[in-house]
Chains A and B, each alone.
Chain A
């Protein structure tokens, strides 16, 4: 158990540092981290299934900037506990929700610490200790982030199994099914959050375009993604290159200017 909790904790650190030191390559997302958890706990199938469902649910929960609201940490714990207890995969979200609340609380505390670290860096610069200022930023900063993820994940996985087992024995089936329905409802909340930052009156039509294509054709999301990129390029060309086509008459003048420059 200790070893498993340790592994999951290390995966959590990897996920956390993705946005800190890898410019956010999306390795922090549930789809990736849950797959890793599945891989290392020896149940890849469940890891993939939980990853896909957690990713779907939390796709709209973006963490732009500092804390925000994300389910990255909760998903890791949820996935690990689902694999270890053999519970239904939809329980991952039920486990992830309180963990998310906890991670938000921890993050608030860590944010205070980081402000004082910033002041320490200010002081180091004033005293000419440039190397120390750099170390605080590049070593202490990520270490703090790593600890804030590792400790709660480790503890939750280490002590969580018995708790989940105990709950599983008393919980009736209709609640389990209801949780699975609830998880799917949350997914729509995720979509709505995503929309709220992307949509406006002018571009709302593209959302309905995507919806109509998928609803009537039943194409897979991979197909929809490819179509979306093609359509984006097409619409872009209609909108912007259409204008420059009209300016073709002006082009030779530019070329002459360049010739002049070359002659100079």
Chain B
């Protein structure tokens, strides 16, 4: 087997390679399928590396083998995908360099082992924290009629997503294996998820109290205002109770569509009899 490709790959400018990992990460869901999830997008992300590594038509069987390996089951938070692509590219290079000593199964193993932890970190950071914070700021400004709301929400999302994807790809390629060891040694996953859950949960708590104002217009004997009694116990008690009831329903596995339709029907009934109001 020729090692001409290795030279091409090594001489290829680093930033161009990182650009491939970056877009590979962001395009991670172009063909999401129930069988192997993000496998074809992963193949697309690593394909240019493989094409450079195996330029010789004589190596086509080897190239097919590497493509097949890239097409195995894969799933990750897109922004973290660039890191895995970078690391995979580095290992593919290693395999071409030492075809006899480097076991190619290791590439698949590392890839598979990273899916869980990196998706855990990624989803709690991007979906659970950044999105919640960006959108809660965006909603409260948009409610005041300010276009700054959606603009800020976009900027916050971009400002976190872009550097993590870019430098994730770069670090993954340059010192991915070192970083994996650091992740497991320093318990990074638990730490990130802890920090994210604290910030995310405080904001969600704030939303339950501040975003939707549900009150009861019930008045007994023209003097006893029920809402005043509730307020004297705790402000925003009704929203807290509603969140509790809904949480119970979610835990019971109620289907979203059923709940949404039930909410409309209940809304019309409760509003008609003057039990709840916005």
- Return the 5 tightest CB-CB contacts between A and B, nearest first: A210-B205, A182-B267, A178-B268, A210-B202, A141-B31
The answer, yes or no, to whether A198 is at the interface (CB within 8 Å) is: yes
Q: A208-B205, A210-B206, A215-B236 are in contact. Are A232 and B142 (CB under 8 A)?
A: no
Q: Chain B: how many interface residues by the 8 Å CB criterion?
A: 112
CB within 8 Å of A: which of B99-127? 123-124, 126-127
Residues of B with C-beta under 8 A to A236: 191, 194-195, 198
In the complex, what residue of chain B is closest to A119 when comparing beta carbons? B35
Residues of B within 8 A of A (CB): 25-37, 39-41, 43-44, 47, 51, 60, 63-64, 67-68, 71, 75, 78-79, 81, 123-124, 126-128, 130-143, 145-147, 149-150, 153-154, 157-158, 161, 165, 191, 194-212, 214, 234-236, 239-240, 242-243, 245-247, 249-251, 256-257, 259-261, 263-272, 276-278
Stretch at the interface among A7-15, A43-51, A157-165, A250-258: A43-51
Residues of B with C-beta under 8 A to A128: 60, 63-64
Bound Cα distance from A156 to B236, whole angstroms: 38
How far apart are B33's CB and chain A's nearest CB, in angstroms?
4
Bound Cα distance from A210 to B206, whole angstroms: 5
Chain A contact surface mostly? helix
How far apart are B128's CB and chain A's nearest CB, in angstroms?
6
Bound Cα distance from A95 to B235, whole angstroms: 33
Q: A101-B257, A192-B246, A236-B195 are in contact. Are A21 and B26 (CB under 8 A)?
A: yes
How far apart are B76's CB and chain A's nearest CB, in angstroms?
11
Which size bracket describes the interface of A in this complex? 35 or more
Residues of A with C-beta under 8 A to B191: 236, 240
Would you call A65 and B75 a contact (CB within 8 A)? yes
Residues of A with C-beta under 8 A to B47: 130, 133-134
Would you call B31 and A189 a contact (CB within 8 A)? no
Residues of B with C-beta under 8 A to A29: 131, 135, 153
Most B-side CB within 10 Å, residue of A19, A44, A48: A48
What are 27 of the A-B contact pairs (CB < 8 Å)?
A22-B26, A23-B165, A26-B131, A31-B142, A52-B139, A65-B37, A65-B75, A97-B261, A100-B260, A111-B34, A126-B64, A138-B27, A141-B30, A178-B271, A181-B214, A183-B263, A186-B259, A195-B247, A196-B251, A203-B197, A206-B198, A209-B201, A210-B202, A221-B203, A224-B203, A228-B202, A232-B199
Would you call A121 and B40 a contact (CB within 8 A)? yes
Would you call B127 and A31 a contact (CB within 8 A)? no
Would you call B128 and A25 a contact (CB within 8 A)? no
Most B-side CB within 10 Å, residue of A32, A104, A189, A239: A189
Stretch at the interface among A55-63, A80-88, A147-155: A55-63
Most A-side CB within 10 Å, residue of B27, B137, B202: B202
Q: A49-B142, A184-B278 are in contact. Are A114 and B31 (CB under 8 A)?
A: yes
Bound Cα distance from A189 to B258, whole angstroms: 11
Would you call A48 and B145 a contact (CB within 8 A)? yes
Bound Cα distance from A26 to B78, whole angstroms: 13
Bound Cα distance from A61 to B198, whole angstroms: 20
11 other contacts beyond A20-B30, A181-B267, A210-B207, with CB at 8 A cut-off? A23-B25, A26-B157, A48-B147, A62-B127, A142-B30, A174-B272, A178-B268, A186-B259, A198-B124, A206-B197, A235-B198
Residues of A with C-beta under 8 A to B271: 174, 177-178, 180-181
The answer, yes or no, to whether A41 is at the interface (CB within 8 Å) is: no
Would you call A194 and B132 a contact (CB within 8 A)? yes
Residues of B with C-beta under 8 A to A213: 202, 205-206
In the complex, what residue of chain A is closest to B151 when comparing beta carbons? A35
How far apart are B135's CB and chain A's nearest CB, in angstroms?
6
